[in-house]
Structure 1
Amino acid sequence: MSIPVVANAYLLLGTNMGDRITLLQQAYHEIAGDIGDIINMSSIYETAAWGNKDQPDYLNQVVAVATLLQPLPLLEKINAIEKKMGRQRIKKWEPRPIDIDILWYADQIINEAHLQVPHPHLPNRRFALMPLQEIAPLLIHPLSKKTVTEMLNHTPDHLPVHLYKHKHI
């Protein structure tokens, strides 16, 4: 009989449709119920859309989750949460009520058809690096061997990312 192993995963939440704060709150509830304990969360950041810039600004936040789920079942749960919250995957970089990306899963390197961890675009996305750096600045990328802070300092992405001013949630 194997003993379940708890792994820390870092998830990036993003929303640019509807009541963005309420959607983030719903995502926390869904994550806590279906994925694991939220052990840390960054501030919320507002960013211009990346990729397709002709859409509303995003709110982004990174949450650290202690989970018993292995990476592929974790991705399945995330996809189910996104669908439950109204996400439809029609076009790349489209507006969405919620987007949840696995940025990091323990120290694992995963290269599957539908899952790459660490997230392959992480070093090139300031909107993901800034909130991750806030809660885990010294995580070392298992491929580049750079810390999150080093990746942020050297990212080629110069889109503005600002702390979102709002009431505490």
Structure 2
Amino acid sequence: CHGDGRVPRTDTVEVRIPQGVPDGARLRVAGKGSAGLLGGPPGDLYITIHVEKHAFFRREGDNIEVQVPLTVTEAGLGAKIEVPTIDGRSLVRIPPGTNSGQRLRLREKGVPNARTGARGDQYVEVQVVVPRPADERVRTIMKELQDVAPEDPRKDLFTKAGV
């Protein structure tokens, strides 16, 4: 005991980790720390939480962010698609004319706040996947689309750049 009245020992302590606790949070378990000096009361045990990263879902505070691929037709015409959430699946309406990189919000599909219990949101960033015109029919349809809708998304590019 080295003269301070304490003997080292190891104990197992059950700890309830609140839902939604953020990475780096510290939990205090009263009276479960080291024994007090000369028979005094034990101190508190402090636990630092490390939340493991997920391969698909990315957490930003109480919000969840995901990237979901869309076909050109889904992005152009609009669609209803299923996306993964931390609770399972959810139906998302893709508005017509959706661009790659656009973010859609699913209210209250994020992580519960550890203090208030209010849920964050889930943000779905869409990534439009453009097909390679390997098939002659696809190439013909893409050329027809180019003729019918000859938009130039770069028309003001050099004006904005001042070049």
Q: Is the TM-score greater than 0.5? A: no
Higher relative contact order (CA 8 A, sep 6+): 1
Shorter-chain TM band: under 0.3
**Larger Rg, first or second structure (1 or 2):** 2
Structure with more helix by fraction: 1
